[in-house]
Structure 1
């Protein structure tokens, strides 16, 4: 799922939203910007609409005209919340928007009295307040709601008992003014609702996108079945498997070869090698466990049991040898691989809370690692249990009894290929 893309003409709503801010936090800033800009545009439109009506087409005194023109400057403070958001002062921006709206409504009641039903704008303000203040700002929301109520009370007092500074006597002008304010409120209510809906929808889309991205990352680190369990229940995951096959592969002579290469060449070479190995793992339906330096570890038969785990691991080992033979280092050196394979019980689980991974433990893991380190370059070494699992499907060459560090004497075999009957 792609994230919600903001139209270029609406990117001004993103002022003050830093990169990486969670979607549910950013939506409150966007709503504040949108409300401030829409309110400034509406105030400017009302100002030009009111001039010919309120001045009674030239029958207003100079003092009244000066007052009306001064009122036109009230548009400018609506831009202050956008500037404050740009400066990262989000709470101040919200309060600036709320307070200036309330002052403007009181001002309209003071200047025009009962001529303009400006208290309707308070309904719109009350509608957006819960979306303007984020969770955790309940005290701010309560105070802003109380301020809105006090503003309504002040407006009613001015409308009832205060003589308007700009009286309008012609009934046609009064009707036009009421229609303009009421119609404007309906338009603003529609725009406010649309902004709230769009910002909420955008936040939800971004949240879904971020969750999908996190899930994909988790699935790239852990087996799907394990990742699903971890998402459903973040408790410790530890499973015992009676029989799996573990493979360790290591590049021969990597350390001295790396000394003659640049860091970029080393990373590019390792990325090429391990990317090809990853493709083989996916093709065989096996599980990549991890990479450790120039070593690669995989397993078959987990997290879901597979009766063909040994034969699949043996087959991928042969393919890995073919793959590595086709790759040359940037210095022109041929690459060789040592591979060790062991079959037996293991314990698997997810460890850590940061940079966690799905890992394996047990004697089988240690044996596979020792078989790799004691293997000859370009060969694949297996132990007795793996040999029994492979049966007659593969060509095996007995190496004999060798000394394995930490294990003592162990009879091993080289895996040379698949049998012709396979």
Structure 2
């Protein structure tokens, strides 16, 4: 098992050499440069072993050329390690072409060395050597020119040394197989990196989608992605609830900042789960206040009942909470009516609601009684057969006549 694991660890370590970016295209290019340079280094080493086994003295110049090539491949890995990524890419595209050309000059075209130029033509495309198409085209043309020059300058019979036909045939076949194997390997590595990038992109998309859905209702988020125009909709019947932790500002003066955040986070997280349970839409939190609505963005015939149950459950939850020695209470206000809902802002946008319904719901809370759920007469008439109410009296509302209010006590099922 260790025999398999150790080479894999080495390969992964070399692949990740010099990674210093979150850009998936650049990261893929760096990984491929590392992998190709390492393959080039190993391939040169293998050929040197074959040359040495055949005739060390006769093929010493070819071995020397490959050693220089190995130094360049190691240098490419070092350049990436030093975060000189462009220099590493340019070296990988140019240096091996010179190495191949020199080997072809020494061994002749009968060795098949010039075929490696064909493989080199794919590197500028695999490595995204430059965004400009004409730059890539130049680097694709370079190995093609080397190939043509090699073919006509170092054709069979013009090599510098006399090599027997069997060795040349074996070398030609070995080079041909190497070209096929390396091209397939590099395409596979490219495919693996593309797939990895796609998976990461998919994860990032899902994460962004999740964050967007935490900010906006699903239907509104879909509209915003499909069309960038202003989103605003009028709704005829919406429940709006305001909830405030009474005296929390005074109590928080006695607490550390971490404690304040922890308490609010626990409470608001519970309300978020409660909202999801009842199919309500959280609008926002302001300090220790919580605002929620029912019947938007998708109309819901049960929104009034759901928001009443939400209020009762929130009140029951707070009955169990103490902050130090202090007992804390909620003050809740609810009103039902028409309003406008939409998305505002271009940065840090939010889904919000406007209209008299919102103002009246806010008055129900601010003029309410500590530990009680105060509702408007509209709410009372809609839910009087489903819940128990206690008439409270009239309260002043800015710009309107005094309004009759009721206290929501409990559901008949709990009476």
TM-score, normalization by structure 1: 0.90
Q: 1:391 aligns with which of 381, 384, 390?
A: 384
SS at match of 2:389: strand
- Specify which of 137, 141, 155 is matched with residue 142 of structure 1: 137
Deviation at 1:114, TM superposition (A): 2.3
Structure 1 residue 319, shift from structure 2 partner: 0.6
- Tell me, which stretches of 5 or more residues in structure 1 are unaligned? 1-6
Give the Å deviation of 1:162. Answer: 8.8
Answering whether residue 339 of structure 2 is matched by residue 346 of structure 1, we say yes
SS of the equivalent of 2:186 reads helix
Contact 2:213 2:221 in 1 (8 A): yes
The partner residue of 2:393 within 395, 400, 403 is 400
CA contact (8 A) 1:250 1:338 kept: yes
Superposition deviation, residue 400 in structure 1: 1.1
Q: Following the alignment from structure 1 to structure 2, what is the Cα–Cα distance between the partners of residues 71 and 33?
A: 18
Secondary structure of 1:245 counterpart? strand
Question: What are the within-5 Å matches in structure 2 for residues 74-89 of structure 1?
Answer: 74-89=69-84
Say whether 1:228 aligns with 2:202: no
Q: Is 1:268 the equivalent of 2:269?
A: no
Q: Contact between 1:111 and 1:164, CA under 8 Å: does it hold in 2?
A: yes
The equivalent of 1:374 in structure 2 is 367
Partner of 2:201: 207
1:182 lines up with 2:176 in the alignment: yes
Superposition deviation, residue 380 in structure 1: 0.8
Out of 318, 329, 332, the residue aligned to residue 336 of structure 1 is 329
- Is the Cα–Cα contact under 8 Å of residues 109 and 158 in structure 1 kept in the other structure? no
SS in 1 for 2:122: helix
> Quick one: structure 1 residues 312 and 327, their matched pair in 2 at CA, closer, same or farther if it must change by over 3 Å?
same
The equivalent of 1:246 in structure 2 is: 240
Equivalent in the alignment of 1:3: none
1:18 alignment counterpart: 20
Shift of residue 134, structure 1, vs aligned partner: 6.2
Deviations 1:183-221 (A, max 9, x none): 222221221121111111111111112111111211222
**Residues 197-246 of structure 1: CA distance to partner in whole angstroms, max 9, x if unpaired?**
11111111111121111112112221111122222223321111011000
1:421–1:47 distance in 2 versus 1, CA, 3 Å: closer
Shifted more, 120-129 versus 332-341: the winner is: 120-129
Structure-2 change in CA distance of 1:406 and 1:337 (3 Å): farther
TM-score if structure 2 supplies the norm length?
0.92
Pick the aligned partner of 2:302 from 294, 308, 321.
308
How far did 1:24 drift?
3.3
> Secondary structure, in 3 states, of the residue corresponding to 2:113?
coil
Q: Secondary structure of 1:359's match?
A: strand
Higher deviation after alignment, 371-380 or 69-78: 69-78
- Distance across 1 between alignment mates of 2:187 and 2:79: 23
In 1, distance between residues paired with 2:268 and 2:23?
A: 34
Q: Provide closer, same or farther for how the CA distance between residues 404 and 162 of structure 1 changes in structure 2, counting only shifts above 3 A.
A: farther
Check whether the contact 1:381–1:415 (CA below 8 A) recurs between aligned residues: yes
Q: Cα offset for 1:66?
A: 5.5
Contact (CA 8 Å) 2:44, 2:66: kept in 1 or not? Answer: no
Q: Secondary structure at the match of 2:402?
A: strand
**Highest relative contact order (Cα 8 Å, sep 6+), 1 or 2?**
1
Question: Residues 43-62 of structure 1: matches in 2 within 5 Å?
Answer: 43-53=44-54, 55=55, 60=57
DSSP-derived class of the 2:108 partner: helix
Instruction: Give the Å deviation of 1:80.
Output: 2.5
SS at match of 1:230: helix
Please give the root-mean-square deviation of Cα atoms over the aligned residues, in Å. 2.1
SS in 1 for 2:30: helix
Aligned residue in 2 for 1:289: 283
Which residue in the other structure is 1:322 paired with? 316
- Structure 1 window deviating more from structure 2 (370-379 vs 229-238): it is 229-238
1:168 is displaced (CA, Å) by 3.4
Return 5+ residue gaps in structure 2 as ranges.
Answer: 1-7
Of 401-410 and 275-284, more deviation after overlay is shown by 401-410
Shift of 1:127: 2.6
Q: Hey, what does 2:113 align to over in structure 1?
A: 118
1:67 positional shift: 5.7
